[in-house]
A and B are shown apart, each in its own frame.
Chain A
Amino acid sequence: MIDQLPALIIVAPMLGAFLTPIIGWRYQHLCYPWTLLVLTIPLYSAVGALFKVIRSGPFGYNLGGWAPPWGIEYRIDYLSAIMLVLIATIGFLAAVNARPAGKTEFKGKEAQLYTLFLLQITGLLGIVITGDLFNIFVFLEITSLSGYGLIAHGEEGAPMATFNYIIIGTIGASFYLLGVGYLYMATGSLNIADLATILPALYHSKMILVGFAFFTTGVAIKMGLFPLHIWMPDAYTTAPNSVSTLIAPLMTKVAAYLMIRILFTLFAPDFAISVVPVATILGWLAVIAIIVGGVKALAQTDIKRMVAYIMVAEVGYIVMGISVMNRAGLTGAILHIINDACMIFCLFLTIGAISHRGHGREINHFQNLSKKMPLTMAAFVIAALSMCGIPPACGFFSKWYLIMGMITAGQWIFAATLLGSSLINAVLFFRIIEKAYLAPPESQGHNHTDHEAEEIERNDAPLSMMIPIIMSALAILLLGLFSGKIIDAVIQHAVPAIF
């Protein structure tokens, strides 16, 4: 059984997804426990896979017993393993969180919610675990389609946002498919490890160059890299809260993982530096992404939309780390994938909890929120501090590595943009913290005791939302404190040895 673990990671949620509507047909209320049960399997397997990789190095699993490159191979190396754990954990916690909001947002259709949930997680897990290019396309589309289905159930603007996402996302996936096609036509292989040995001889072939261009563009669309991010703010803002906690942290990060795979595993790093100056282009796009994301976020009064724009900037961080092409930068990028997923997850969880308790999403209406939902706001503060890069939260450490990467590469403008962006984040989040924690300026003298304040009822998030909130806030702190260990054990092996 242990040997089949990699296949189990995918098969379990997929079968679970097929069985959920059947269960939901008779026993609607059983869908939630069933989903949680199913999701423990990938969680357990992913952690097991990570430990196995740390112990004995990367390993592969041949689907159906067919040897690569004729068969599909699941390849679990350091980067895949840590992404698996990330997706499985966040997926599980997002499912735990989905119940209260799911009851209102998917009234009567909860079976459908959990089915699509499980399919989405299957897709995400599949993208990171497989070592076959076309398989990635299939899982990419599984992820995207279930995402479309989930987002369409959102609020007023959701169907239009979904439709736009469908059009743009399909262009992205099709470009990816086109890239696969060109590479296949030139080399005859679809297996990533196999291609990595065949390709270096072909770096100057036009077909490979075009294939690479299509790959990068397709993945950039899925990742939301400026200027292909236009689908992102609308889709993530209008999505139902139970859904955005799953999709938002993971989708862009998995696409970033794909970009790392393409640039570093499939094509050797010096392809991106010397043959095609992709690294430079990506770097400057990232700078613009950070600036645009920050500036647009400042203009928002809806907190969810603000976080969606901040996500555009965070994608910029990761791509910037990739583009400097040195060890520190890539370490920072990978660490930031993990850290950012946790931070965004915590933010969307708290936003969902606040919205669930009826306080809406307008920042100007967040008065006294710290008294009404103290634990939720405390978790929000921790996530906010991490976004601003304040130690000991994890954001500081990934920022440190990214800055080291910029300094090593001599890219001062990149470093300045990165630092400026943390200051913009500080402005954004302290605005909200001030609103939520401090009394409105008009009505306070300074000798105001707690007895005189009106009794503000404490109505914190429900338990199934509270548990993921607390766990993600703790994760942010623990990831920060143990950054060194994570880097030593996992990330430094994930960075190509050339650096």
Chain B
Amino acid sequence: MGEVIYSAKPLWAVLVSMVAAFLILLTGDKARNLREGWTILAALIKFGLVFSLIEPVLAGKTIEYTLINLLPGVALQFRVDAFGLLFGVVAATLWIPTSFYSIGYVRTLNEHAQSRYFFSFAMCLSAAIGVAFAGNLLTLLIFYEILTIATWPLVIHHEDESAINGGRKYLVYTLTAGCILLLAIGITYSLAGTLDFVGGGFLAGHGSPGLLIILLIMFIAGFGVKAGIMPFHEWLPSAMVAPTPVSALLHAVAVVKAGVFGCVRVILFVFGPQLLHELGVWTILAGVVAFTVVAAGLLALGQDHLKRRLAFSTINNLALIILGVSLLSKNSMTGGILHLANHAFMKITLFFCAGAIYVKTHKDHVSQLDGLGRQMPFTFAAFAIASMGLCGLPPVNGFISKWFLCLGAVETHQLVFLFVILTSAMLDVAFFFPIIYNGFFKQPLPDVAGKIDEAPLIMVIPLCATALFSIIFGIFPNAFLNFFNIVRLAVTNVLGG
């Protein structure tokens, strides 16, 4: 397993944005720049802390820190392994551009309740890093629930009827899922006596196959709500009423990725490939997720509201990640876990572009975007790059993860999944391409012709940066953040050896 280092760095990474959150609340509206400064400072410090953890983890060590003992055998404990580090790095890295983008978005639109907005954002990031670095199921659940509550003020930010209803739907789905998870974790503890994540699972041999299958269903249902697996996905399109930076970071990166993270943890680190092969359920699991992939792709075609289309694309991609992991082969797992990181960069770019378009033109439907590409070239270029990546075109990073997914599907000899992945790629082209085509090649609508130029710089720079990084990670997967190596290490942890 490698050497274990005891360091409080994971705790500081979680706490730094909690402290910033309260400083934001105290600073309030009176000193806006100071308040924004707290966000940026916390983002940078958090990134620094998480970045410093990459090297020891790649060298094969795990960083552990125990807070308090909750039960015999279960503690509130952080343990940073390769898989957790991947999610942590993605979240911490993407918070920096999102902070700048948020500041630009909120100030340009002159939004209300800005302090509450930044407070909740910082708390969410704390919880997301907590989820990433959790060392056992109970710690994961604790931060998962905190994430739910911290996201609610952001979903209902606009405080109009659709926002409040979206928030209620969100809470109903996620709190119910939390209850199911609590029950499942309780059963796991009573079966195995421990809740710590072990690469390759720890439930083997504890409990009858029937009980274990029911337990798996409960876990997947519980985490699947946040991960948008059908039929629990309904809250995600409704949550698109939130401001775009919220949709960008949280609903494309942090919250839904936390759900996927939980699913993968359960599949690979609680049950493990061995047990799932024995139980014979991985085909069913992969089948359910594959259905989500195709269905979400088809539903995305029918959406005219841009953010809702992107929401369904998110559901599609998250299901792809889980599909890769549940196919249980080395390459598919690599592809799935790598897609967790890659998709984050691409999707956040897409949402940033949607937000930039909204800020400048107040248009949020695909049919209204004609000709804007020529007037907002950077925004639409970034959009084009990110969509190309999601379709799986090189040189954007989406290609690499989709390639490994296909390789993995072939390895399992279940070619139906290969078809699913390729179909999903075609559907991606079908619903992204028209946006790009309309943007660049059609005549602009009368009310925007000649009047619009690019969104404020503070918003355009982040979205260009994330698009650029998508390309860089596509060509050099290990640039800066060693994503590919981390993923490889994570898969090795799971498969043993």
A residues whose Cβ falls under 8 Å from a Cβ of B: 385, 388-392, 396-397, 399-400, 403-404, 406-408, 415-416, 419-420, 422-423, 426, 430, 434, 437-439, 441, 444-450, 453, 481-485, 488
Give the size of the chain B interface in residues (CB under 8 angstroms): 42
Q: Does B190 contact A (CB under 8 A)?
A: yes
Sample 9 A-B pairs with CB under 8 A, ordered by A number. Answer: A385-B149, A391-B142, A400-B182, A419-B183, A423-B175, A441-B160, A444-B159, A446-B160, A448-B112
DSSP majority for the A interface?
A: helix
Contact B146 A392 (CB under 8 A): yes
Residues of chain A lying within 8 A (CB to CB) of residue B167: 434
Q: Does B111 contact A (CB under 8 A)?
A: yes
DSSP majority for the B interface?
A: helix
* Chain B positions 129 through 160: 1 when the CB is less than 8 Å from some CB of chain A, otherwise 0: 00000000010011101101100010010111
A116 to chain B, nearest CB (A): 40
* Chain B positions 392 through 411: 1 when the CB is less than 8 Å from some CB of chain A, otherwise 0: 00000000000000000000
Task: Identify which of A388, A426, A430, A450 contacts B112 (C-beta below 8 A).
Answer: A450
Contact A403 B175 (CB under 8 A): no
A380 to chain B, nearest CB (A): 14
Q: Does B176 contact A (CB under 8 A)?
A: yes
Residues of chain A lying within 8 A (CB to CB) of residue B148: 390
Q: Does B110 contact A (CB under 8 A)?
A: yes
Residues of chain A lying within 8 A (CB to CB) of residue B69: 484-485, 488
B434 to chain A, nearest CB (A): 28
Residues of chain B lying within 8 A (CB to CB) of residue A422: 175, 179
Q: Does B430 contact A (CB under 8 A)?
A: no
Q: Which of B76, B146, B160, B161 has the most CB of A within 10 A?
A: B160
B279 to chain A, nearest CB (A): 21
Task: Identify which of B71, B164, B186 contacts A438 (C-beta below 8 A).
Answer: B164
Contact A450 B160 (CB under 8 A): no
Task: Identify which of A408, A419, A446, A448 contacts B182 (C-beta below 8 A).
Answer: A419
Q: Does B457 contact A (CB under 8 A)?
A: no
* Given A403-B182, A403-B183: A449 in contact with B175 (beta carbons within 8 A): no
Which residues of chain B (245-260) have a CB below 8 Å from chain A?
none
Contact A484 B68 (CB under 8 A): yes
Contacts A415-B186, A430-B168 aside, 10 further interface pairs with beta carbons under 8 A come to A388-B175, A391-B142, A403-B186, A420-B179, A446-B111, A446-B112, A446-B163, A447-B111, A483-B68, A485-B69
B residues whose Cβ falls under 8 Å from a Cβ of A: 29, 68-71, 75-76, 109-114, 138, 141-143, 145-146, 148-149, 153, 156, 158-161, 163-164, 167-168, 171, 175-176, 179-180, 182-183, 186-187, 189-190
Residues of chain B lying within 8 A (CB to CB) of residue A404: 71, 186, 189-190
A165 to chain B, nearest CB (A): 35
Contact B70 A483 (CB under 8 A): yes
Contact A415 B183 (CB under 8 A): yes
A99 to chain B, nearest CB (A): 29
> For the complex, what is the distance from the CA of A177 to the CA of B128, rounded to whole Å?
56
B359 to chain A, nearest CB (A): 12
Contact B145 A453 (CB under 8 A): no
> For the complex, what is the distance from the CA of A439 to the CA of B142, rounded to whole Å?
30
> For the complex, what is the distance from the CA of A423 to the CA of B145, rounded to whole Å?
13
Residues of chain A lying within 8 A (CB to CB) of residue B160: 441, 444-446
Contact B164 A484 (CB under 8 A): no
> For the complex, what is the distance from the CA of A408 to the CA of B190, rounded to whole Å?
7
Residues of chain A lying within 8 A (CB to CB) of residue B153: 437
Q: Which residue of chain A has the shortest Cβ distance to B176 in the bound complex?
A: A423
A222 to chain B, nearest CB (A): 31
> For the complex, what is the distance from the CA of A408 to the CA of B187, rounded to whole Å?
8
Contact B68 A438 (CB under 8 A): no
A442 to chain B, nearest CB (A): 9
Contact A446 B159 (CB under 8 A): yes
Contact A441 B112 (CB under 8 A): no
Q: Which residue of chain A has the shortest Cβ distance to B179 in the bound complex?
A: A419
> For the complex, what is the distance from the CA of A69 to the CA of B471, rounded to whole Å?
84
Q: Which residue of chain B has the shortest Cβ distance to A419 in the bound complex?
A: B179
A100 to chain B, nearest CB (A): 27
Residues of chain B lying within 8 A (CB to CB) of residue A415: 183, 186
Contact B70 A397 (CB under 8 A): yes
> For the complex, what is the distance from the CA of A454 to the CA of B472, rounded to whole Å?
50
Contact B183 A441 (CB under 8 A): no
Contact A484 B159 (CB under 8 A): no
* Given A385-B149, A399-B182: A484 in contact with B111 (beta carbons within 8 A): no
A48 to chain B, nearest CB (A): 25
Residues of chain B lying within 8 A (CB to CB) of residue A403: 182-183, 186
A193 to chain B, nearest CB (A): 29
> For the complex, what is the distance from the CA of A148 to the CA of B70, rounded to whole Å?
41
Contact A391 B183 (CB under 8 A): no
Q: Which residue of chain A has the shortest Cβ distance to B188 in the bound complex?
A: A407
> For the complex, what is the distance from the CA of A385 to the CA of B110, rounded to whole Å?
31
Residues of chain A lying within 8 A (CB to CB) of residue B146: 390-392
Residues of chain B lying within 8 A (CB to CB) of residue A453: 112
Q: Which residue of chain B has the shortest Cβ distance to A481 in the bound complex?
A: B68
Contact A407 B190 (CB under 8 A): yes
Q: Which of B69, B71, B187 has the most CB of A within 10 A?
A: B71
> For the complex, what is the distance from the CA of A399 to the CA of B186, rounded to whole Å?
11
> For the complex, what is the distance from the CA of A452 to the CA of B445, rounded to whole Å?
33
> For the complex, what is the distance from the CA of A396 to the CA of B138, rounded to whole Å?
11
Residues of chain B lying within 8 A (CB to CB) of residue A437: 153
Q: Which 5 A-B pairs have the closest CB atoms?
A: A419-B179, A446-B158, A391-B142, A484-B69, A448-B112
